[in-house]
Amino acid sequence: MTNILLAGQAVLDFIFEVEELPTKPEKYRAGAAQIIGGGCAANAAVAVERLGGQAFIATRVGGDPVGQTIADGLAAEGVNIDNLFRADDGNSSYSAISVDRHGDRQIVNLRGTGLGDPLDWTLPERIDAVLADTRWEAGATQALTLARERGIPGVLDGESPIPQALAALASHVVFSMQGIAHFTGDSAVGAALAVAAHRLPGWVAVTDGGNGTYHWKDGSVVHTPAFRVHVVDTLGAGDVFHGAFTLALAEGLDEGAAIRFASATAALKCTRRGGRAGTPSRAEVAALLRNGQTAAAE
Ligand SMILES: Nc1ncnc2c1ncn2[C@@H]1O[C@H](COP(=O)(O)OP(=O)(O)OP(=O)(O)O)[C@@H](O)[C@H]1O
Ligand SMILES: [Mg+2]
């Protein structure tokens, strides 16, 4: 079994399907609703589990019912929650999301507050790779430091704001487009990757939704196209990509092969509704890798 430590955020989304996004102080009726667990580390942990790894999450929630729901949802997926910390007086992070008939979203988010910095983690003797996000800086710093000390891959999900010192701890930084633009001040992929590679000791890449993934290799940009699928819901695609990428590195794949594996996993997730609930199994990913078409193949 491949053990992955995921340090960062776990949240809960209350999603309402409405005709029109609310604008007035009156009651709006939802045609349907879903309660979906989210957050970078939590979504990536679920991906690791569905793909056959063992995920150990280090995260913080409040003492509220939302915190319990987040914990239950992760445990039901098989994620180890020994390091899911509940701050009795803290607030979990959660959102009310309205989605109208065009798919446009309106989000009201409560940030987690009063969650502290619980860093006394109980971990298995062997961890094969680490994934951290930027939403819990102290936790990410501890996790990436552990990866360095053990000489295993330490991946950072580069969503802004990204502290330089944190990014410099990672062996691999996989940015979002917004993340790399903020980090480098450049929004053109090639120029931004060049700046990031110059500023960081590790390997760097950026994901760009349906356009696929770009990484920096030997002084130039390598493009890996996304798989061509029927997309119905991209919520959590980036998080699932990062979980799959980290697992693949831990299993010994090189970065190019790990990007392909992660692209297939994220693309399949996009074909189903319900955020991370649509994360595929290992067998489904293997089938897409064998038979699937990427955008460039057409
Ligand atoms: N429309 C799509 N079709 C196929 N693959 C997709 C699509 N959208 C995303 N993906 C896959 O998921 C990866 C990550 O997506 P994206 O770049 O949107 O992440 P992100 O910006 O971090 O967003 P988030 O974290 O909010 O999901 C892409 O590199 C791609 O491989
Ligand atoms: Mg992302």
pLDDT at 295 over 80: no
Which is the closest atom of ligand 1 to the Cα of 213?
29
Mean pLDDT of 253-267: 98
Closest CA to 225 of 204, 239, 211, 215: 211
Q: Whose CA is nearest to atom 2 of ligand 1?
A: 210
pLDDT in tens, 202-250: 999 999 999 999 999 999 999 999 999 999 989 899 999 999 999 999 9
Report pLDDT digits (tens) over 63-78: 999 999 999 999 999 9
User: What are 11-25's pLDDT values in tens digits?
Assistant: 999 999 999 999 999
Tokens at 271, concatenated: 């074909």
Alpha carbon of 136 to ligand 2 centroid (Å)? 15
DSSP 292: -
Q: How many angstroms separate the CA atoms of 147 and 163, rounded?
A: 18
Mean pLDDT of the 142-163 span: 98
pLDDT of 159 > 50? The answer is: yes
Assign 297 a pLDDT band (cuts: 50, 70, 90): very low
Over the stretch 91-125, which tens digit does the pLDDT of each residue have? 999 999 999 988 888 999 999 999 999 999 999 99
Contact 259, 221 (CB under 8 A): no
**What Cα–Cα distance (Å) separates residue 288 from each residue in 52, 140, 209?**
17, 32, 18
Confidence of residue 296 (pLDDT cuts 50, 70, 90): low
Q: Residue 266 Cα, ligand 1 centroid: separation in angstroms?
A: 7
Mean pLDDT of the chain: 96
Residues having CB closer than 6 A to ligand 1 are 176, 207-210, 212-213, 226-227, 229, 231, 234, 236-239, 241, 263, 266-267, 270
Of all protein residues, the one whose alpha carbon is nearest to atom 23 of ligand 1 is 238
CA dihedral for 178, 209, 128, 52, sign (positive or negative): positive
Q: How confident is the model at residue 293 (pLDDT cuts 50, 70, 90)?
A: confident
Distance 209 CA to ligand 1 centre (A): 3
Helix 237-250 vs helix 40-50: crossing angle, to nearest 10: 50
Over residues 181-188, the mean pLDDT reads 97
Mutation probe of ligand 1 site: the residue of 223, 224, 259, 270 with most atoms within 8 A of C-beta: 270
pLDDT band at 143 (very low <50, low <70, confident <90, very high): very high
Give the domain ranges of the chain.
Answer: 3-17+34-105+126-297
The reported pTM is 0.96
Distance CA 142, CA 144 (A): 6
d(CA 21, CA 31): 12
The CATH code of the domain at 3-17+34-105+126-297 is 3.40.1190.20
